[in-house]
Amino acid sequence: DTTSLTLLGLGDMGTALARAWLAAGHPTTVWNRTPARAAPLAAAGAEVAETAADAVAANDLVVVCLLDDASVRAALADADLAGKDLVDLTTGTPAEARARAAWAEERGARFLDGGIMAVPPMIGAEGSGGYVFYSGSRPLFDEHRAALAVPAGTVYVGEDPGFAALHDVALLSAMTGMFAGVAHAFALVRDEDVAPKDFAPMLAGWLAAMAGYVNGVAEQLDSGDYTRGVTSNLAMMVRGNATLLRTAEEQQVSPELLTPFMDLMRRRLDDGHPDEGTTGVVDLLAR
């Protein structure tokens, strides 16, 4: 399968996508607001369109990878989308994806939203582990799956066009928490005689070992029994938090990344759940 396709957006990610499709033999028409960014791709065999509307007219399969949803709306304003298969790989919120899907369908296009779980160097690199969450039109996904699988793996998560963004942002949000923990840990050891490079493998190993925690949370949420399989209970962990905070103080490190989560653990404990783990915090977060 070497379906021809159009790609709007030649930032770091769009350029990596275009290179992957060209390398796999897919005739690719590209467009970028700032035309200079298309030159290296023209040299690699891409057709360069002068306007976004021309680029859209060139192929049935149209992929967009722009800064944000507002730039997608702006770039496609003058394009005729009737009969097109629009795949939006721009990061956005679930509500933005749902609104963009309705907007595209009103213009006669089928719509698939994507959330890219990879950085540009992983695109088109065999075995990189990078993939894209897709949601929206299942027929579009099935028809173009082979082309979509060229730059990265494909994971279809549902007909609701908001689901790709929902999954994408949920993973990024968890990653943000991990980055916060990593920053605090390095801040603790920083001014001591601990080389960051010696500490890093211990920290990475610990985080990898703790990843299984996710499955325990899922089982507890499924069963509704938040004490199931708990090995460290909330009462014990809240006591332990005091040691984490005293250590931060000793090391003259701000506790500001730790305290929001610790406050929620304390609230759940005070609500009378000493034998749970931390899953009850999920309930506290629901607005």
Contact stretch for ligand NDP (CB under 6 A) within 70-78, 98-106, 224-232, 269-277: 70-78
Partnered with residue 85 across adjacent β-strands are: 61, 110
Q: How far is the CB of 206 from ligand NDP (least distance, A)?
A: 26
Number of residues counted as binding ligand NDP (CB under 6 A): 21
67 forms part of the interface with ligand NDP (CB under 6 A): yes
Which class for 208: exposed (0-12), middle (13-18), buried (19 or more C-beta within 10 A)? exposed
119 forms part of the interface with ligand NDP (CB under 6 A): yes
Q: Which residue is nearest to ligand NDP (CB)?
A: 11
Contact with ligand NDP (CB under 6 A) among 7, 65, 150, 157? 65
236 forms part of the interface with ligand NDP (CB under 6 A): no
Partnered with residue 62 across adjacent β-strands are: 6, 86
13 forms part of the interface with ligand NDP (CB under 6 A): yes
Residues 159-178 that bind ligand NDP (CB under 6 A): none
Q: Which of residues 136 and 277 has its CB atom nearest to ligand NDP in the complex? A: 136
Q: How far is the CB of 10 from ligand NDP (least distance, A)?
A: 5
Between CA 258 and CA 261, with CA 260 as vertex, the angle to 5 degrees is 75
6 forms part of the interface with ligand NDP (CB under 6 A): no
Contact with ligand NDP (CB under 6 A) among 63, 79, 96, 120? 120
28 forms part of the interface with ligand NDP (CB under 6 A): no
34 forms part of the interface with ligand NDP (CB under 6 A): yes
Contact with ligand NDP (CB under 6 A) among 91, 135, 220, 241? 91
User: For residue 270, what are its two tokens?
Assistant: 């005070």
17 forms part of the interface with ligand NDP (CB under 6 A): no
d(CA 22, CA 46): 7
With helix as H, strand as E and coil as C, how does the chain read? CCCCEEEECCCHHHHHHHHHHHHCCCCEEEECCCHHHHHHHHHCCCEECCCHHHHHHHCCEEEECCCCHHHHHHHCCCCCCCCCEEEECCCCCHHHHHHHHHHHHHCCCEEEEEEEECCHHHCCCCCCCCEEEEEECHHHHHHHHHHHCCCCEEEEEECCCCHHHHHHHHHHHHHHHHHHHHHHHHHHHCCCCCCHHHHHHHHHHHHHHHCCHHHHHHHHHHHCCCCCCCCCCHHHHHHHHHHHHHHHHHCCCCCCCCHHHHHHHHHHHHCCCCCCCCCHHHHHHCC
Q: How far is the CB of 151 from ligand NDP (least distance, A)?
A: 11
12 forms part of the interface with ligand NDP (CB under 6 A): yes
Q: How far is the CB of 69 from ligand NDP (least distance, A)?
A: 9
Contact with ligand NDP (CB under 6 A) among 5, 7, 9, 101? 9
Contact stretch for ligand NDP (CB under 6 A) within 102-110, 115-123, 180-188, 270-278: 115-123
130 forms part of the interface with ligand NDP (CB under 6 A): no
Binding interface with ligand NDP (CB under 6 A): 9-14, 32-34, 37, 65-67, 71, 74-75, 90-91, 116, 119-120
